[in-house]
Amino acid sequence: MQSLGSVASVIAAIREEASAEVERIDEASSIEVVAVRAEGTAADVAIPNRAARLAAARAENDERSARQEWEGRRQVIEQREAWIARVVALAHERHCDVMPLVREALARIGTTECQVAVADRDRAALPKKLRATTAVIAGGCIVTAGDLVFDNSLEARARRFEAEWRQALGEVYKP
């Protein structure tokens, strides 16, 4: 049997061998790191068509942003229009005194010799001295004197004063 020596000499031999292996690995790693760094600085990392791609991405982003803004505005407009329609419908329902509208129409025509057309539900509210007929209107009246006609129905008034009432309601409605 061959003797390897003392335990201390075996441990020293293993340590020496391990140190040599560590030095070899460190040297190989250093050489590899230098090679990778040299390769990285020499590599071309330019993006092909960079300017065109950036311009296209910006244009797409601007269009998406404009579309979202328009959609938001469109929704606010639709919401406002629905609110205005509800207000106008409620005003038509609540407007029950036809006589102020008849007096206004008579003043516009300038004669009492005329025919006053009102909704069927409003006919009883007219004085007997007026020639009254019924018309298919939501409310108000249509006064006719010969060839002269003054439409003071709620529908006609809504059209006639639309710019004013829209402006007033627009001031009230703040989304």
pLDDT at 5: 66
Please give the DSSP secondary-structure letter assigned to residue 122. Answer: G
Rounded-to-integer distance, Cα 10 and Cα 30, Å? 30
Tens-of-pLDDT digits for all 175 residues of the chain? 455 568 788 788 888 988 899 899 999 999 998 888 888 777 767 778 888 999 999 999 999 999 999 999 999 889 888 888 888 778 777 767 888 889 999 999 887 789 999 999 888 888 888 899 999 998 889 999 988 999 999 889 888 888 888 888 778 777 6
Is residue 138 a contact partner of residue 119, using CB atoms and an 8 Å limit? Answer: yes
pLDDT at 165: 80
Give the position of tokens 């007026």: 130
Across 14-139, where does the E strand assignment appear? 115-118, 131-134
- Angstrom distance (rounded) from CA 135 to CA 9: 125
Return all residues near 53 (Cβ < 8 A) that are at least 6 apart: 47
Report domain extents, the chain.
Answer: 1-43, 92-172
CATH code given to domain 92-172 = 3.30.2320.30
Show the DSSP H helices in 110-161 as ranges: 154-160
Strand-pair partners of 133: 117
Helix (H, G, I), strand (E, B) or coil at 116: strand
Give the Cα separation of 65 and 59 in Å (integer): 10
Alpha-carbon distance of 83 to 50, in angstroms, equals 49
